[in-house]
């Protein structure tokens, strides 16, 4: 499969940067990750969940710490489980508590990042895992891409199954309940999906900027679209375009790939905002 992909890239992209195998792997990873960021980001922005998705990144970091502490070769697998549980707990408490949502998320987020830092710093081993803060997309391997493909297809399938119910819940929970929608279950499924993609991606994108990749494409798309279909499509296009441009720019500028992608997304956000203000 990868031999076919490498040959295709060589045939279609006769550029210096595309001649390296690690760049081909990174490009394929971007084509799998960024559409999911664009897709999920639409609901995150519409439901004002930017703070929540940031908290999931902190939860993922704690999960990585737990995985490392119990001696797993790949702490990310433990992080996925922990992040899903973390997301579901926040969702349940948020729906059943009278405390403000921001306060609940803030409490869990603060505890998660502090616990993760404490666990990873035990015995002075924090430096070994500091790469998770910044990420390294260029280090992704073919075996990791296979996992990413499975995650990509699974999330797309779940999205198709729950999108209409999720949209109704985001518009009016009371109306959704009257139509027989199990709102808490739908919210938990959605937050679990976000938790999985955040946790899987954090090793390549980095904790410090993972939330930006979820928020910026959707925020930019919202500036220039008028319906849900346009909103979703433009968000995915912005996410993919930012990913490809950021990857190429990081190669020539010798900069961190994830951060460069975020900067491209940020530029596109301000361009769409300027367009919106000009024609408002």
Q: What is the mean pLDDT of residues 169-179?
A: 85
The answer to whether domain 2-279 has CATH 3.40.1190.20 is no
CB atoms within 10 A of CB 212: 24
For the chain, domain boundaries: 2-279
Residue 177 has pLDDT above 90, yes or no: no
Compute the C-alpha angle 89/222/43, nearest 5°.
Answer: 20
Q: Residue 155: its pLDDT value, please? A: 92
Q: What was the pLDDT predicted at 239?
A: 96
In angstroms, the CA 24 to CA 117 distance is 33
Q: Are 95 and 163 in contact, with CB atoms under 8 Å apart?
A: no
Chain segment 11-49, per-residue pLDDT in tens: 898 889 988 999 999 999 999 999 999 999 998 888 777
Reported pTM: 0.89
DSSP helix/strand/coil, 47: coil
Judged by average pLDDT, the poorest of 143-152, 196-205, 215-224 is 196-205
Task: Tell me the average pLDDT across 199-224.
Answer: 87
* pLDDT of 237 above 90: yes
**In the prediction, which pLDDT does 279 show?**
61
Q: Are 155 and 198 in contact (CB under 8 A)?
A: no
| Inter-residue contact 99 to 89 (CB < 8 Å) | no
């Amino acid at each position: 499969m990868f031999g076919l992909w490498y040959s295709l890239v060589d045939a279609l992209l006769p550029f210096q940067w595309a001649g390296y195998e690690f760049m081909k792997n990174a490009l394929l990873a971007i084509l799998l990750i960024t559409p999911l960021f664009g897709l999920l980001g639409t609901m995150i922005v519409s439901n004002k969940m930017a703070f929540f998705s940031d908290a999931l990144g902190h939860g993922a970091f704690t999960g990585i710490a737990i995985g490392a502490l119990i001696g797993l070769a790949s702490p990310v697998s433990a992080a996925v489980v922990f992040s899903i549980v973390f997301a579901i707990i926040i969702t349940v408490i948020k729906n059943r508590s009278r405390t403000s949502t921001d306060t609940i998320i803030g409490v869990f987020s603060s505890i998660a990042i502090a616990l993760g830092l404490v666990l990873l710093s035990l015995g002075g081993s924090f430096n070994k895992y500091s790469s998770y803060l910044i990420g390294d997309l260029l280090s992704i391997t073919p075996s990791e891409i296979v996992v990413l493909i499975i995650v990509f297809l699974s999330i797309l399938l779940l999205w198709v199954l729950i999108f209409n119910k999720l949209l109704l819940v985001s518009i009016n929970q009371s109306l959704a309940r009257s139509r027989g929608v199990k709102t808490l279950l739908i919210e938990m499924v959605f937050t679990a999906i976000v938790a999985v993609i955040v946790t899987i991606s954090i090793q390549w994108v980095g904790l410090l900027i993972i939330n930006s990749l979820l928020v910026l494409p959707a925020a930019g798309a919202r500036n220039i679209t008028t319906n849900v279909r346009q909103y979703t499509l433009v968000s995915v296009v912005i996410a993919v375009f930012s990913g490809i441009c950021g990857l190429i720019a990081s190669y020539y500028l010798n900069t961190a790939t994830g951060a460069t992608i975020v900067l491209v997304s940020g530029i596109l956000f301000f361009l769409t905002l300027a367009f919106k203000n000009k024609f408002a």
